[in-house]
Homo-oligomer: A and B are copies of this chain.
Amino acid sequence: MTRISLDQAQTIVAAALKEGRALALKPLSVVVLDAGGHMVAFAREDNSSNLRPQIATAKASGALALGMSSRAIGEIAIERPTFITAAAGLNPAGIVPAAGAVLIRDANGNLIGAVGVTGDTSDNDEKAALAGVAAAGLSV
């Protein structure tokens, strides 16, 4: 398997939003990018603010840009803020160094994409992202 399918991406989006409702989170936005960082599916819940598409995308694109979760990028940003700021300037979609985006791997461990979530706290955003990946039978 080399590319994430639209079916898989839509399953991830639906499950992440379902998790958000189950946890009574604030309105969420969820994006799924393929391994090249290009958008496959996106949804923004009612009453979300305007920049959520870009924030979700920058979390997920950053994860693919640096090969780690946006949580790990956030930890690096604390120790080496100028590195992450510089890297963000190089990535067309930017990088948001906060939890909520995780890499997506297939059954063979091959990287096939990333999912990014924003709308609630970073920790809660990440819970929704992980629920989405699990629902699609994929791993992080």
Query: Quick check: B41 and A44 within 8 Å, CB to CB?
Result: yes
Interface mask (A40-66 → B, CB under 8 Å = 1, otherwise 0)? 111111101111111100100000111
Chain A interface residue count, CB cutoff 8 Å, equals 56
Copies of this chain present: 4
**Binding site secondary structure of chain A:** mixed
Query: Quick check: A97 and B82 within 8 Å, CB to CB?
Result: yes
Q: How far is the CA of A97 from the CA of B55 in the complex (A)?
A: 17
Query: Quick check: A82 and B77 within 8 Å, CB to CB?
Result: yes
Q: Which of A38, A44, A65, A97 has the most CB of B within 10 A?
A: A38
Query: Quick check: B41 and A87 within 8 Å, CB to CB?
Result: no
- List residues of A (72-94) whose CB comes within 8 Å of B's CBs: 74, 77-78, 80-92, 94
